[in-house]
Every structure is written in structure tokens, then in C-alpha cells.
Amino acid sequence: MTERIVVKIGSSSLTSEEGGLNRERIGFFASELASLYRRGEAVMLVTSGAVAAGFRQIGYAAKPKLLHEKQAAAAVGQALLMQAYQEAFARYGIVAAQILLTRADFSNRRRIHNALMTIEELLKQKIIPIINENDTVATDELKFGDNDNLSALVAAMTKSAKLVIITDMDGLYTEDPRKNPQAVKIERVEQISEDIMKLAGGAGSTVGTGGMRSKIEAARVAMRGGVHAFIGKVQQEGDLALAVEGRGRGTYFDTKLHSLPMKKQWLGFHSVPQGKITVDDGAVLALLEGGKSLLPAGVTAIEGDFHSGDVVEVTNRQGETFGRGVVNYTAEQIQAVAGLSREEVRRRVDVSRIEVIHRDEWITLK
Ligand SMILES: Nc1ncnc2c1ncn2[C@@H]1O[C@H](COP(=O)(O)OP(=O)(O)O)[C@@H](O)[C@H]1O
Ligand SMILES: N[C@@H](CCC(=O)OP(=O)(O)O)C(=O)O
């Protein structure tokens, strides 16, 4: 059966601490991906390594820290990276394509739709899309920075079955094993709780960026989008196939959720909330388990100055955010009717819909 699989390779797997591309590793990963491709899987690659590949060529002594230097390094390195992959895939008769994306592209529905259509056509033509962040145009505030999150968004957008995040560690441990060799590996995670989040530390190498934390955040996004995730090591021949088959050297993050329509992905992953609504326990239950809309009666507090049609976060009484939705009221209108019954609400404000957030415009995020 053809499955869609997104594979993410981090800088630490492709380059050395001194920078420069490790062509042998690229050749190895290309052969691993080619074996999935030959089995009929629809493979997409999200690869880092542009900055690490480029800085040595420019003559910088170490991985640059300043944004314009990083961007210059990426501009040089991205071309080297693509050249290396295209050559490596050509050995297997596979054509590869370059796609560069930014976070801003994801928040613009037309742009991301175009990117998706391009990827769909490439997959149809049996071409492997190779995706990286467009470092030259991404502004600092809006940068993915690491590619973990980008890979999760690509996996959700393409409704992939699996996301394989390849790194230099064979999975998630109870602590960073570089700091504590006694740390114990976690084989399976079914829900990413705050306790799981706390285990993860930052990058382990000087070329890596996000560390384990950004990988777990990515797994969380993937799982919400109905994608099973794996974080681990692919080092020897056949490791990638094992990772995909459930026998890999890493940690599995299984999900019971189904893929999300683009509209819900936009709401959950890309929209920028303009305020916050706190609700009572009954409303939490109605939204989380009843599949119901949020009515004014369940609202206890609001924050922010938002308009009807804006996206807001919804939090419980403990202050934990558990979802987002599009509001049908202005902040002022909700203030006037919070806690009131439908009849009272109709008497006091003139709104097009009685629901503060309709269930079709809601996404649970936990
Ligand atoms: N709890 C943990 N379990 C495993 N690795 C961890 C943990 N916390 C931090 N790390 C570090 O995360 C690193 C991988 O992230 P990173 O260096 O950003 O790699 P990449 O370039 O592959 O994205 C590992 O080398 C490891 O040192
Ligand atoms: N877009 C950047 C990615 C930066 C980076 O180091 O990411 P990662 O190795 O995935 O933590 C690059 O190609 O250099």
C-alpha cells in the first residue's frame, strides 16, 4: 500500500561540527529514501543543513550567530545541499525538487494552497519534494529556526501517515543522555503531557538548533494532524525502513486522531489568536467531549480586544489553553453577556449567531 511519509533530517546528521556537507551521509540517506520509494511509498524530505553547509564555504570560522550571516550561509549552502541530493538521487533514477517555505507562507491560505498543489503534482509525477525553510526571506520573529516544526506542518498538510524525524540520538530519553549517561530511553508515547515536555533539553551539537524539545513539539503537531511520529536514529542500511515499520531505533508517538481538514489546520496551527476566553467546567466538557458549540452561559472571563471573526484561545479555570476558535462576538459584546442564558443574550445584544464559537469553527488542542 502506498503511504505518504515525511522524513526530516537535521543538520547534525548531515554535517560535522566544523561545517561543510558530509556527502557520504547524503548518499546514505538518499539510498535509504530510495528504498522506500521503490516500495511505492510517496516520500517527502524535509532537510536542514543549508547554514551548516554554507558557512565554511564563505570562510566564517564557526556557525554564524547573526541573522544576516546565517542567511548568507544558507544562500550558499542551500544550493550545495540541493546539488548533493540531486546527484545522490540521480543514482537511483529519482528526480528531486526543491521547495522553500516560511511560516508566513503557512498563514496565507492562497500561498500554502499553492505549495500543497505543487507537492501533490510532484508526488503524482513520482518526484521527491525536498523542503527547507526559506532562510533568506524569513524574518527572525517568524522563523521556524529548526525544521522540526516545519516537517510536522508538511506532514499534516499532505495528510501523511507518518513523520520520521532523524537525529543523532536514538530517541527521547528521561534526560539528555549527553548530560546524564544514566538516562533511560522512552519507547512509546501516546500523549505528550507537560511531564514529557519537561524531559527534553536543547540542541546537543553546535550545528543543531532545536534539540529534543522542538522535536517533541513537532510530534505533538503531527499527532494532532493524525500523523504517527518517530524520533530517532537512522544510521545503518535498512534503518529507515525499520523506523517506518515500527521497529526503528527511536521513540514512537502514536495517535488515534484522523487527518485534519486544511481549515482546521489553519485554525489550530497557523492562526494568530487575538484574545482569550475562559470558560467554566460545563463548557469545557461540552467542547471537549460533547462536540458542542460554546454558548455565552459558559463564559466566565475574557482577555484582549478582539472583533467578530477573530481567532481566540479558550482556557479552563486553571488557565490551561485547550483549544481555539473563531468568535462570533466582539470582546465588548461577550463582556456584556457572559454567563447569561440564550434568551437574556438575545435581549441584550444583536449578534448573527448565538454561539460564541460554533463547533465547526473550533479545534481542540491538548
Ligand atoms: N531528553 C532527551 N533525550 C534525547 N536527546 C536529548 C534530550 N534532551 C536534549 N537532547 C539533545 O537533543 C539533540 C538532538 O537535537 P539537535 O542537536 O537539534 O539535532 P538535529 O540537528 O538533528 O535537529 C541530541 O543530540 C541530544 O543531545
Ligand atoms: N533551515 C536551516 C535549518 C536550521 C537547523 O539547524 O535545523 P535543525 O538541524 O533541524 O535543528 C538550515 O537549513 O540550515
For position 178, which CATH number holds? 3.40.1160.10
Rounded distance, CA 78 to CA 74, Å? 6
* pLDDT value of residue 352: 82
Which of 205, 228, 263 is the C-terminal boundary of a domain? 263
Distance 200 CA to ligand 1 centre (A): 8
% of the chain at pLDDT higher than 70: 96
The whole-number pLDDT of residue 202 equals: 63
Binding site membership of 9 for ligand 1 (Cβ less than 6 Å): no
**Is the pLDDT reported for residue 8 higher than 80?**
yes
- Average pLDDT for residues 308-317, to the nearest whole number? 97
Nearest to 183 by CA among 195, 194, 167, 199: 199
Task: Please check if 264 is assigned to a binding site.
Answer: no
* Confidence category of residue 18, pLDDT binned at 50, 70, 90: confident
List of residues 6+ apart from 175 with CB closer than 8 A: 183, 199, 201
When pLDDT is cut at 50, 70 and 90, the band that residue 203 belongs to is low
Rounded mean pLDDT, 189-203: 83
pLDDT-derived band at 206 (thresholds 50, 70, 90) equals: low
From the CA of 209, how far away is ligand 1's center (Å)?
Answer: 9
* pLDDT class of 109 with cuts at 50, 70, 90: confident
Q: How far is the CA of 81 from the centre of ligand 2 (A)?
A: 12
A 10 A CB-CB count for 311 gives 21
Q: Does residue 143 register a pLDDT over 80? A: no
pLDDT for 1 equals: 63
Chosen domain end from 236, 263, 290: 263
Range of the domain at 98: 4-263
Q: Is 13 near ligand 1, meaning CB less than 6 Å away?
A: yes
C-alpha cell at 356: 460564541
Write the residue with the smallest CA distance to atom 10 of ligand 2.
10
**What span, in angstroms and rounded, lies between the C-alpha atoms of 192 and 186?**
12
**Residues 92, 43 share a domain:** yes
Residue 208: is its pLDDT beyond 70? no
- What is the grid cell recorded at 78? 542551500
DSSP 149-196: HHHHHHHHHTT-SEEEEE-SSSS-BSS-TTT-TT--B--EESS--HHH
Ligand 2 neighbour 11 (Cβ under 6 A): yes
- Total structural domains within the chain: 2
Radius of gyration of the chain (CA): 22
CB of 232 shorter than 6 A to ligand 1:
no
For the Cβ of 49 lying below 6 angstroms from any atom of ligand 1, the answer is no
CA 357/CA 355 separation, integer angstroms: 5
- Residues 279, 297 within the same domain: yes
Specify whether 98 is located in the same domain as 117.
yes
> Is the domain of 280 the same as that of 235?
no
Q: Are residues 221 and 346 in the same domain?
A: no
> What is the reported pLDDT for 209?
62
Q: Which tens digit of pLDDT belongs to each residue from 222-262?
A: 999 999 999 999 999 999 999 999 999 999 999 999 999 99
Are residue 8 and residue 77 in the same domain, yes or no? yes
Report how far Cα 143 is from the mean position of its chain's Cα atoms: 13
CATH code (residue 306): 2.30.130.10
Judgement on whether residues 277 and 229 belong to the same structural domain of the protein: no
Query: Is residue 16 pLDDT above 80, yes or no?
Result: no
Closest CA to 151 of 363, 364, 9, 4: 9
Output 205 or 278, whichever has higher pLDDT: 278
Distance from the Cα of residue 5 to its chain's centroid? 14
Q: Are residues 226 and 304 in the same domain?
A: no
Interior CA angle at 283 toward 282 and 286, to 5°? Answer: 90
Predicted pLDDT of residue 204: 63
Task: State how far the Cα of 209 lies from the Cα of 83, in Å rounded to an integer.
Answer: 23
Cα dist from 279 to 78, 286, 299, 323, whole Å: 47, 11, 4, 11
Count H helices and E strands in the chain, helices first: 14, 13
If asked whether residues 82 and 227 sit together in one domain, one would say yes
Domain boundary among the residues 263, 282, 310 is at: 263
Note the ipTM here: 0.95
Least distant ligand from the CA of 170: 1
Most informative mutation of 135, 142, 168, 209 for ligand 2 (most atoms within 8 A of CB) = 209
Residues 50 and 76 in one domain: yes
Average pLDDT over the chain, rounded to whole?
A: 93
Minimum CA distance residue for ligand 2 atom 11: 209
Q: CA-CA distance, 213 to 206, in Å (whole number)?
A: 16
Binding site membership of 146 for ligand 2 (Cβ less than 6 Å): yes
* 43 and 161 both lie in a single domain: yes
209 CA → ligand 2 middle, Å: 6
Q: What is the pLDDT of residue 122?
A: 98
Calpha distance 302→315 (Å, rounded): 10
Mark whether 159 and 75 lie in a shared domain.
yes
pLDDT of residue 194: 84
Whether the CB of 167 sits within 6 Å of ligand 2: no
Residue 208: CB within 6 Å of ligand 2?
A: yes
| pLDDT, mean of residues 53-79 | 93
Measured CA to CA, the distance from residue 61 to residue 74 in angstroms comes to 15
